[in-house]
Amino acid sequence: MRVLVVEDFEILRDSIAQGLSEAGYTVDTAADGETGLWHAESNDYDVIILDLMLPKIDGLTVLKRLRAKKSPTHVLILTARDTSADRVKGLDSGADDYLVKPFVFAELLARVRALIRRRYNVKSPVIRIADLEIDTAARIARRGGQSVELSAREYSLLEYLAHRTGQVVTRTEIWDHVYDFNSTAESNVVDVFIGHLRRKIERPELPRLIHTRRGQGYLLGEEI
């Protein structure tokens, strides 16, 4: 899943980005509102973490411009402004959540996970497709009760497909949600990772769950 961090304080920005990356998220960063807005308008993020006091364009203006363009991306405001009036203003401007600095990183991660579930209309942190279980809080997968060893990239791909269970997901959509801005694309990279995932998820004796729709993309779900 892909997250944008817009924060002008370099140490905090890098720390958040590193923590999110270590948790398995694909992360882009921006140091000012202008760059952040450009990223947000140019890419499809699952969550944007947005400071308010930014150079060039302030965070509230960034948020209002995104909402004016009907951006569906969930936005978490991360700021030192902690009065109830500030919270009300941020939420009324279109934010989906509001977290005050200083904060505990585990709480930030929990809020990001909750916003991702909300985006895809998933209530439970555990997604089940037949005998496949994806625990989005622990970031682990099991098939038939047995743990499946996945790399961070493979897990991210599986979680994104799981959030879109029963839908055909294009290669472009997968790229946009699993790879960051600096990634260099190879024509078959998505197919290669789908192949890796299939070898770990599928079993000869079990129903196939990852399906190819030729010319369209991939679908995770039970065969109809």
Domains detected in the chain: 2-119 (3.40.50.2300), 126-220 (1.10.10.10)
Look at residue 28 and give its three-state secondary structure: strand
Query: What per-residue confidence (pLDDT) applies to 205?
Result: 83
Neighbouring-strand partners of residue 50? 6, 77
Regions of the chain with pLDDT less than 50: none
Query: Is 150 within 8 Å of 201 (Cβ atoms)?
Result: no
Residue 197: per-residue pLDDT:
93
pLDDT score of 203: 84
Q: Where are the beta strands (DSSP E) in the chain?
A: 2-6, 26-30, 47-50, 74-79, 97-100, 126-129, 132-135, 140-143, 146-148, 210-213, 217-220
Q: Please list the residues that pair with 79 across neighbouring strands.
A: 100
CA distance linking residue 16 with residue 29, whole number of Å = 10
pTM of the model: 0.88
| Residue 174, token pair as written in the block | 């997968």
pLDDT of amino acid 183: 63
Evaluate whether 72 touches 47 at the Cβ level (below 8 Å): no
Cα gap 5→151, rounded to integer Å: 23
Longest dimension (CA), the chain: 59
102-140, pLDDT tens digit by residue?
A: 999 999 999 999 999 999 999 899 999 999 999 999 999
So what's the pLDDT on residue 224?
A: 56
d(CA 161, CA 163): 5
Both tokens of 50, joined, read 């947005």
pLDDT of residue 187: 59
Q: How many CB atoms lie within 10 A of CB 55?
A: 11
Q: Cα dihedral angle (116, 119, 120, 124), rounded to 10 degrees?
A: 50
Taking only the tens place, the pLDDT of each residue in 166-185 is 999 998 899 888 877 666 55
